[in-house]
Amino acid sequence: KAGVTQTPRYLIKTRGQQVTLSCSPISGHRSVSWYQQTPGQGLQFLFEYFSETQRNKGNFPGRFSGRQFSNSRSEMNVSTLELGDSALYLCASSLGPGGLASNYGYTFGSGTRLTVV
Amino acid sequence: AQRVTQPEKLLSVFKGAPVELKCNYSYSGSPELFWYVQYSRQRLQLLLRHISRESIKGFTADLNKGETSFHLKKPFAQEEDSAMYYCALRGGGGQNFVFGPGTRLSVLP
């Protein structure tokens, strides 16, 4: 059974550019949640999608957006990149809603490491 | 507003010593509290949730609503407990998660 797949694994972008990250959940999982991990800020919740609907959103500026497709795959987009957006972006998938508190448990992907120069 | 604080960035203890990782929160309603652990080169894992009232790997945590705390405790630390520990809060109604900054626990031989 394939795990959670995040692509690309590594990405280098220039300030001002935009970037799209992808997360393919475990087959049958309908919930995908996204997190940003940095040494300075630690782990921060970005958003959670369940059945193509955004259920929750963290305290990030509007430059951060996401969506979920009918096959449960999710994409995260960051526009007008800033140096501070450099981070490891993690997604987690679950059968049911609730993200990391889902009663169904969750599985993380390996993350996409974004470097903004 | 939801907020989680973990006052210690790094905590070092000797093997066999008791360990307590502090977590305080601010939230006006009834929160759900969690502890997550990330071992070196591994993915983030759920360690405890307060509603379960269970002990995992010898760790326990009690929600103290009066002191708004959810400290993680283990009576005898092991070297394999060395990891990054995050306390997290989720507000009622399925609101989003808020994580504390994390405490790196180092258990020395």
pLDDT per position in chain B (109 positions), as tens? Answer: 788 999 999 999 999 999 999 999 998 888 889 999 999 988 888 898 887 777 788 999 988 989 999 999 999 999 999 999 999 988 765 556 788 999 999 999 9
The answer to whether residue A66 scores a pLDDT higher than 60 is yes
Give the span between the Cα atoms of B57 and B34, in whole angstroms.
Answer: 15
Which of the two residues, A9 and B28, has the higher pLDDT score? A9
Kindly identify which residue of chain A lies nearest to residue B46, measuring between CA atoms.
Answer: A100
Kindly state whether B98 is in contact with chain A, defined as any CB-CB distance less than 8 angstroms: yes
Q: Which residues of B touch A36 (CB under 8 A)?
A: none
For chains A and B, CB pairs below 8 A equal 47
What pLDDT, on the 0 to 100 scale, is given for residue A1? Answer: 59
> Residue A77 corresponds to which tokens in the numbers above?
């987009």
Nearest CA to CA, how far is A53 from chain B (Å)? 14
Cβ separation of A108 and B94 shorter than 8 Å?
no
SS3 B79: helix
Integer CA distances (angstroms), B53 to A58, A107, B6, B57, B109, in order = 27, 22, 21, 13, 30
Establish if B31 touches chain A: CB-CB under 8 angstroms: no
CB-CB neighbours of B92 under 10 Å: 11
Q: Is the pLDDT of residue A25 over 90?
A: yes
Mean pLDDT of A13-37: 95
Q: Chain B: give the shortest CA distance to residue A45, in Å.
A: 6
Q: What's residue B46's pLDDT?
A: 85
Residue B86: which of A42, A55, A105 has the nearest Cβ?
A42
> What are the backbone angles phi and psi of residue A99, rounded to the nearest 5°?
55, -125
Comparison of pLDDT for B96 and A67, the residue scoring more: A67
Q: What are phi and psi of B96, to 5 degrees?
A: -70, 165
